[in-house]
Structure 1
Amino acid sequence: MTQTEKIRLELPLVLPTVIDANDLCIDRLIKGLSGRGGIEKVHIKKADGSEPLLCLHYDPSIISVSRIRELAQSVGAQLTKRYGHYVARLTAPLHARSARLFSNRLRGISGVLEAEVSPSGAVRVEYDTETLSQADLVTQIGFIGGVIASLSHTTPETMKNKEAEKVFPVDSHREAPAATQTESRDTQHEPRPEDPGEHQEHQHDDQSEHDHGDSKDHVHAHGATDKEHAGHDHDHGGIFGEKSELIFALLAGAFMLAGWLCTWTQSGPDWLSTTLFCIAYLFGGYFTTKEALENILARRFEIDTLMLVAAAGAGALGKWGEGALLLFLFSLGHSLEHFAMGRARRAIEALAKLAPETASVKRGDKVEEVAVETLKPGDIVLVKPNERLPADGVVVKGTTSVNQAPVTGESVPVDKQPVADGAAVIAAFEKVAANNRVFAGTINGSGGIEVMVAKLAAQSTMARVVQMVTEAEAQRSPTQQFTDKFERIFVPVVLALVALLMFAFIVVDEPFADSFYRAMAVLVAASPCALAISVPSAVLSGVARAGRGGVLVKGGGPLENLGSLTSIAFDKTGTLTEGKPKLTDVIAADGVEELELLAVVLAVESHSDHPLASALVDGARDRLSKESSALTADDVKSITGRGIQASVNGETVYIAKPVLFSEMSIASLPDALVKANEKLVADGRTTMIVLKGKRFLGVVGVMDTPREVAASVMVRLRALGIERLIMISGDNQQVADSVARTVGLTEARGDLMPEQKVEAIKQLREQHGKVAMVGDGVNDAPAMANSTVGIAMGAAGSDVALEAADVALMGDDLGQLPFVVGLSRQTSRIIRQNLWVSLGVVAVLIPATIFGLNIGTAVLFHEGSTILVVINALRLLAFQDKTDA
């Protein structure tokens, strides 16, 4: 399968008892998927049975089956697990060309729909479980020669040996029973039989499809089994371990320099310098020859093959020194690529090592030390001061402050308090307040606490982030897809040009040796080494830096798109605002003290459970002293949709919307109070008039207040080149306009229903090209899916937010947004710089070598450009947000 082929899948939806293809949940799923890049068409087909079939036409080079599954789950649906998803990580990074070769070999396995291997060593495979079981897939991967030769199955016991074994999480979907034939391009799947039963009201429990379990897979590069690896830890297959290639390159350089000195000083016989150059060939060409042979066996001619041909040609012409220089610099560039991938990879591996290996668990009156993998929801773990937390859970005893920066990126420790009943709240972990909830991998402060475990170790937020980052590494960015296509066309053209130049002696009056030498020089000059590594090194470094800052970026596509767009849309509630109303305005009527007004409000609203009532109560308590708030209310009655009625000191009190007083002809509002109310409404407040007996005490205004950082975030985004900052909200237009003015947005659209938000995003994409959507990832999932880049806030505690978003801000902090936008823009700049350098050097060197530039000089510029783009990409690991005031 080539990456340009489109795939059509027909999958039964797992929506219990839903038999109507027009069900609103199915409609919401279609809307959520339809706007996603890479998905060309989504529609429902009515199957012969009772289940509707979701038909997807998608491009696997842009979006994967696992991402489609995530998006389906984010809106409450699940897809059948016929199409398995397998993620693993190699023990060592690969070169970009080796990763591409390995990907192609995986795609050649019968039953594999799509496969991708990143230079960092992340492996992602989507496969048809009817054709290929996971066990067979693992076996076949294990026999793919050269790039990797063995897979090991690692148990929790072997995980303890961290020095000998570095193990990274694997995500896989278990096989589901299926009942139909598979076709290579038009894959169909009939519905599974369901138990008969009556149609009932359906609920969509967001059950994870990730089968984490205890098994973790670990892939050894270059042919070492587990036993061999434990005693002979050579990650890259050489006698010096993972540094073998670098040491071989340096030895090649040393022998090349010795041979050059012998020639320059004319010391020793002629054969001595030639022998030294040949030894340099041996060391410099060892790994290159291995990869070239792998490519030839796969019937591919890659850059490694071209370099060997050029070096052999130089030797055939007696230019042993120039050939040695070529192989030395090429192998040095190769080893530096390996180092760059390893550096970025280690930044990601650091995430996996944050959670401790053991935990102290209370078992009755005893405390036992157990492996973190054995913890179950409901277990009580003891966390001492300054220890890392072993699991996601809720505090049930003790108070402390927790450094959550490893997960959420928050720079200030978060105070934690116990909940009254841990067992009652862990089932709804996402809804637990931030001051009660803790995450695995975060660092306890000075107080000892007891934590009730809410999730298995493999399902913790940290474990999911590591797994998603691994998947993100194996996703190719748009620019990387372009460079791959460019290379597929460019390399054959170069080979044709070289073949023509070898026969130039027929047309030009020169010896064959000169024509052959020129052809070899062009071969060196035209090899796109820098181009192959320029994009993946930048993308991986960007994803790693984002992860270290508490932001999950799902691949190079979102990273590049966020770096080039100029429009961002925001949801209001919980995104730009705090998400809960606050008492903002208290205006007393003429002749009334503000304290009296607030005391009456506090006395009455204390008996109400309405969300606005709690805002009024909290606000009144903050403004009143205990002595001035000693009123009591009785005979409290709710007036549906209008307000509340009560009795205070024998007088009837109404706290209600202004419309109530005209509807019930209770009393006429004074003109001053009418004007004050109208002004508050115009400013976006929700208002209530207070009447006690026959006296109007005043008006109070409540508002979901903007986040403190919102205004500064908009300023920073404008400084980064974001021209349009748009709010789309379900609140009335006046409220939307008020918030927009307060935080500094360029546009506000109110009174929007969820489906209208989706249409608004589509309009923005038509008008401005690319647009990002920032929300909480729950109610905003369809709108986020239709944006170019969906960004979810507060994703650390929300599985839905993690699944719906392309970019997840792990902390509930809007201030992380300028950081990730700035990082994305810097990544885009570095990718452009790398492309200009790599393509520019090739464009200059090809004509220069045709007109006589020698191989030695061509090699210096060629390999110099490779080293330059690698170093340039690594700068992203040190990125700092310069807009942060």
Structure 2
Amino acid sequence: MHGPGCKHDHDHGHDHAHAHGHDHGHGHEHAHAEKHEHGPGCSHDHGHDHGHAHGHAEKHEHEHGPGCSHDHGHAHAAKHEHGPGCSHDHGHDHGHEHGAGCDHDHDHGHHHHKPKRIRPPGHRPAEGGGAALQLDLEGALPGETDDVGRFEKLEAAIEAHRGVTDVHLRRDAGHPEVCIHYKPEVVSVSQLLTAAQRIGAEVAARYKHQTWFVRGMTSADAATAIEHGLGKLKGVLTASVAYASERLVVEYDSEEVTLKDVEAKAKQLGYALEVPSSGHACSHHAHGGGLAPLLEMPLVVVSGVLLVAGWAIEKFAGLPALVPTIVWALSMASGGFFAIRGSLKSLLQLRVDIETMMVVAALGAAVLGAWFEGAFLLFLFAAGHALEHRAMDRARRSIESLGALRPEMARVRRSGDVVEVPVGDVQRGERVVVRPGDRVPLDGIIREGKSSLEQAAITGESLPVPKKAGDEVFSGTINCEGLLEVEVTRLSSESVLARVVDMVAEAEAQKGPNQRFAQRLERTVAPLVMIGAVVFPVVLVLLGTPVKEAILRAVSLLVAASPCALAISTPSAVLSAVAAAARGGVLVKGGIYLELLAKVNAIAFDKTGTLTVGRPKLLSTVPAQGVSREELLGTAASVESLSAHPLARAVVEAAAEGGIQAPAGSDCEAIHGKGIRAKVGADTVDVGSLALFEGDAVPAEIAAEVSKLEEAGQTTMVVRRSGRYLGVLGVADTLRAGARNVVHTLKDYGIERTVMLSGDNAKVAKSIAEQVGLDEAKAPLMPADKVAAVREMGRKGSVAMVGDGVNDAPALAAAAVGVAMGGAGSDAALETADVVLMSDDLSKLPFALGLARQATHVMQQNLVIALGISGILIIAAVFGLTHISHAVVLHEGSTLLVVANGLRLLAIRPPAMKRAPEAAVGVQPAVG
């Protein structure tokens, strides 16, 4: 354990060696390095600039040794375990698990953007030649994802700057960038950067975005209605509706329009908006508000019964023709109740939608005396809608069921008593009591008791996980054995579960290419159909067709061409896939990432914490001639007990297991990236890699031993005491259970290249890559080299980067899809990645990949079904080969077919994984 705060960096096997460059969320690089007062003689080497302010959401707990007197004046996220006598003066709220300086405001009502990764500016030439500067879109305009709305304001403002010739959105680097073309002779890069940042800040302050629940949407078409209606509001830049999850995201100019105006306008359109409460996928009020959803099915049934009755009366009862006509009229009224209401709404806004077309068609038929056809048309239309709503509700409920796992009440210990309190009222730092069999109400840390918890709700693992005091627990998990006292670290609206539900519910609004294609098509098709429906009968009549037949044919054209199925084809698939993934412990943050993941043909893995567990073990002790194992290990442990480096901990643990007493060392000095030097008694002891002894004559047998252990995939440390070499220690990380199987499965899935990126030495990296079955290993790499390596791979195809989300955020950001592991425990992973595996189980990776591919196939099938059936019907209608009734049956049938096809994805479950014992990396040579 590093003593007096000795920051050790044996560049031996640990990528996280570099992850410790503490960037405490101060704007300037380590200007605070002099604030740290370390114990005697410890030369802290903070030499790296980690640009990302994920602060300390680091997994590696720094344990400060004795006498550490840090004064970190900032929000510490790392779980610091302080040694004795540590006089930390933090003076602030540790409760926040977010990175230092992370300004998280989880009031999801007004989406204060979750901090996402921000990539450094790029400088690639403009497409047509000339100079261009690229800024990460997230950095320039937080929360923006496309080139409409707020982006256009930014574009106009930057283009007004002198020397700027053009501004546009560029995605060729695998993520959205603002590309600014400029004249280098007129304006310098630094001037441009400052201007862009200033303009970006102004645009971001003035143009905001907000998410609502929409109540009262009856069809996918209502989404278009809302987007269209709100889009006309002065000051609204874009309005996009996720029909499947009933969310509306509006970008607006806060100086021209208020949220109240938007809500009023929506009300005028006939839809109620409500600010969603965090962690709930469904609205507080019944869907659609009021009676609508309850009445829908009964009215359809009534309509159907009347329809059949009218037909029977006409056929067999011999009553006057007026009777069946009245029965059919009643059938039309009940079947078309909601459709008629909806079409009146849209006609008042001078807008024509599918419902209006259907109602016009039905009334047209009735006027011409075809009452049966009219009633049949509305009956089928209503039945199709009712069934589709049922189906979409099922998908929504499967998301809501994720959040329903959270108890409503918590048992809180207050002034000696245990009281039942609603979870929303529990504050940070309070203690909740969790009995065996209860669900954990809020995220926190166990302070008393030990138990095993079933975490399927969060990570998808069905086997209970043992937990003891000091471990983290999540709301929604089940306590299987003992009584626990948990200190609350996150409020109920910020819990991992709430964030997962929110991200899943909003995933569909992040539209992928297939979804965008369907929307564009739908927007072009509807007006064309309306024009066609007016022009077509006129042409027919001029060609000599009887008026009645001409109008009936026009009506069937209307029915045939209305793009209902198209509108719902992708949302149903995206919603179902994202819900199924979340249930299996995989969080996909948007429809777009499903489509990107399906295209991936190369995968890069971080080594430490991803392929390996990240807990090194001492495997070999090789004492020199005439030295006992006790002396070698004891001396090394004395020095390493002053260090908190994972390798040091492995040595200390091994000495403790062997019962070797190690006298405490003093005067620690860390030699960056090479090892550690300290005093044991009066002797100077050096422990580190061969690089530490450069320029000294290292005995040949020691050097030979080092290369032998490194060949076997171990990280070596040479021990020298006052000039006498005592021997070599070999340490290796443990491979993750099942890592090899996962790599083979990925190969079966057609992944062409698998690469490991590691900060470790090349021999160790190569040895592990061979054991896991990867194509190649790239090592040793600094975080910046990892980014370069991912970009390099990205040139040849679509690449996914898998890491633990802590020190590999920039590399995750550089890949087409960033996949983070262990999202339940790390905020950094939840924020930075596009796809998050909630547990530390790599086997979820093939599951996520397979699901994404299936979802993409389903979207494509749905587009083919929707367009195919419409196409056939349009041709049939134009040539008069079809009756209205046939057209309606096929049209509604195709809508139900695409919804059902999408919902198939809900049934996908991850394969059950057997937990294998962890295998140690490296071949164990005989212990000398």
Q: CA deviation at 1:828?
A: 0.9
Q: CA deviation at 1:565?
A: 2.3
Equivalent residue, structure 1, for 2:515: 480
1:798 and 2:792 aligned = no
Deviates more, 1:585-594 or 1:750-759: 585-594
Equivalent residue, structure 2, for 1:640: 671
Look up the SS of the partner of 1:790 in the other structure: strand
Distance in structure 2 (CA, Å) of the matches to 1:24 and 1:609? 23
1:572 to 590, 607, 610: 607
Look up the SS of the partner of 2:733 in the other structure: strand
Distance in structure 1 (CA, Å) of the matches to 2:497 and 2:205? 24
Deviations 1:263-305 (A, max 9, x none): 4446433333322222221122111122222332333322212
Deviations 1:558-598 (A, max 9, x none): 12221232222222222222223332445566898878866
| Equivalent AA in structure 2 for residue 332 of structure 1 | A
Q: Is 2:282–2:400's contact at 8 Å kept on the other side of the alignment?
A: no
Deviates more, 1:509-518 or 1:443-452: 509-518
Equivalent residue, structure 2, for 1:703: 732
Q: CA deviation at 1:693?
A: 9.5
Distance in structure 1 (CA, Å) of the matches to 2:826 and 2:723? 50
Distance in structure 1 (CA, Å) of the matches to 2:351 and 2:670? 77
1:763 and 2:814 aligned = no
Look up the SS of the partner of 1:773 in the other structure: strand
| Equivalent AA in structure 1 for residue 689 of structure 2 | K
Spell out the pairing of 1:372-451 with structure 2 (5 A cutoff).
Answer: 372-419=423-470, 436-451=471-486
Equivalent residue, structure 2, for 1:301: 352
Deviations 1:756-797 (A, max 9, x none): 3333333333321x3222223343333323322222222223
Q: Is 1:719–1:883's contact at 8 Å kept on the other side of the alignment?
A: no
Q: CA deviation at 1:873?
A: 1.1
Distance in structure 2 (CA, Å) of the matches to 1:305 and 1:403? 51
Equivalent residue, structure 1, for 2:553: 518
Equivalent residue, structure 2, for 1:182: none
Equivalent residue, structure 2, for 1:669: 700
Q: CA deviation at 1:531?
A: 1.0
Look up the SS of the partner of 1:700 in the other structure: strand
1:169 and 2:271 aligned = no
Distance in structure 1 (CA, Å) of the matches to 2:493 and 2:362? 50
Distance in structure 2 (CA, Å) of the matches to 1:730 and 1:859? 63
Spell out the pairing of 1:581-730 with structure 2 (5 A cutoff).
Answer: 581-586=616-621, 605-606=640-641, 608-619=643-654, 624=658, 626=659, 629=660, 640=671, 642-643=674-675, 655-659=687-691, 663-665=695-697, 668-670=699-701, 674-690=703-719, 699-730=728-759
Q: CA deviation at 1:831?
A: 0.9
1:856 and 2:885 aligned = yes
Look up the SS of the partner of 1:360 in the other structure: strand
Look up the SS of the partner of 2:437 in the other structure: coil
Q: Is 2:756–2:777's contact at 8 Å kept on the other side of the alignment?
A: yes
Equivalent residue, structure 1, for 2:10: none
Q: CA deviation at 1:750?
A: 2.6
Deviates more, 1:266-275 or 1:856-865: 266-275
Equivalent residue, structure 2, for 1:363: 414
| Equivalent AA in structure 2 for residue 130 of structure 1 | E
Distance in structure 1 (CA, Å) of the matches to 2:451 and 2:384? 50
Deviations 1:328-366 (A, max 9, x none): 111111112211221111112223332222222222322
Equivalent residue, structure 2, for 1:560: 595
RMSD (CA atoms): 4.1
Q: CA deviation at 1:124?
A: 2.4
Equivalent residue, structure 2, for 1:123: 248
1:776 to 804, 807, 815: 804
Unaligned ranges ≥5, structure 2: 1-23, 31-48, 54-117, 123-133, 139-144, 159-165, 178-195, 915-928
Equivalent residue, structure 2, for 1:247: 298
Deviations 1:457-513 (A, max 9, x none): 222222222332333243333222111111122223333433343134456454233
Distance in structure 1 (CA, Å) of the matches to 2:203 and 2:770? 43
Q: CA deviation at 1:719?
A: 2.8
Equivalent residue, structure 2, for 1:742: 771
- With over 3 angstroms needed to count, the CA separation of the structure-2 counterparts of 1:755 and 1:343, relative to structure 1, is same
Q: Is 1:98–1:291's contact at 8 Å kept on the other side of the alignment?
A: no
Distance in structure 2 (CA, Å) of the matches to 1:712 and 1:126? 45
- With over 3 angstroms needed to count, the CA separation of the structure-2 counterparts of 1:602 and 1:217, relative to structure 1, is closer
Q: Is 2:137–2:176's contact at 8 Å kept on the other side of the alignment?
A: no
Distance in structure 2 (CA, Å) of the matches to 1:390 and 1:755? 40
Q: CA deviation at 1:98?
A: 0.9
Look up the SS of the partner of 2:616 in the other structure: strand
Distance in structure 2 (CA, Å) of the matches to 1:495 and 1:519? 10
| Equivalent AA in structure 2 for residue 386 of structure 1 | G
- With over 3 angstroms needed to count, the CA separation of the structure-2 counterparts of 1:242 and 1:499, relative to structure 1, is closer
| Equivalent AA in structure 1 for residue 464 of structure 2 | P
Look up the SS of the partner of 2:747 in the other structure: helix
Q: CA deviation at 1:374?
A: 2.0
Equivalent residue, structure 1, for 2:581: 546
Q: Is 1:680–1:687's contact at 8 Å kept on the other side of the alignment?
A: yes
Equivalent residue, structure 2, for 1:114: 238
Q: CA deviation at 1:857?
A: 1.9
Distance in structure 2 (CA, Å) of the matches to 1:498 and 1:303? 12
Q: Is 1:774–1:784's contact at 8 Å kept on the other side of the alignment?
A: yes
Distance in structure 2 (CA, Å) of the matches to 1:279 and 1:762? 65
Q: Is 2:817–2:835's contact at 8 Å kept on the other side of the alignment?
A: yes
Distance in structure 1 (CA, Å) of the matches to 2:630 and 2:711? 25
Which structure has more relative contact order (CA 8 Å, sep 6+)? It is 2
Q: CA deviation at 1:801?
A: 2.3
Equivalent residue, structure 1, for 2:335: 284
Equivalent residue, structure 2, for 1:347: 398
| Equivalent AA in structure 1 for residue 902 of structure 2 | A
Equivalent residue, structure 1, for 2:271: 147
Q: How many residues align?
A: 756
Deviations 1:174-199 (A, max 9, x none): xxxxxxxxxxxxxxxxxxxxxxxxxx
Distance in structure 2 (CA, Å) of the matches to 1:868 and 1:89? 27
Distance in structure 2 (CA, Å) of the matches to 1:678 and 1:663? 18
1:332 and 2:383 aligned = yes
- With over 3 angstroms needed to count, the CA separation of the structure-2 counterparts of 1:314 and 1:385, relative to structure 1, is same
| Equivalent AA in structure 2 for residue 657 of structure 1 | S
Equivalent residue, structure 2, for 1:846: 874
Distance in structure 1 (CA, Å) of the matches to 2:465 and 2:135? 36
Unaligned ranges ≥5, structure 1: 1-13, 48-54, 66-71, 154-167, 172-215, 221-228, 420-435
Q: CA deviation at 1:850?
A: 2.7
Distance in structure 1 (CA, Å) of the matches to 2:29 and 2:356? 58
Q: Is 1:39–1:56's contact at 8 Å kept on the other side of the alignment?
A: no
Q: Is 1:112–1:128's contact at 8 Å kept on the other side of the alignment?
A: yes
| Equivalent AA in structure 2 for residue 441 of structure 1 | G
Deviations 1:135-183 (A, max 9, x none): 5544554x333233x75x8xxxxxxxxxxxxxx5159xxxxxxxxxxxx
Spell out the pairing of 1:222-233 with structure 2 (5 A cutoff).
Answer: none
1:34 and 2:136 aligned = yes
Distance in structure 2 (CA, Å) of the matches to 1:136 and 1:35? 28
Using structure 2 for the length normalisation, give the TM-score.
0.73
Distance in structure 2 (CA, Å) of the matches to 1:266 and 1:283? 23
| Equivalent AA in structure 2 for residue 875 of structure 1 | R
Look up the SS of the partner of 2:824 in the other structure: helix
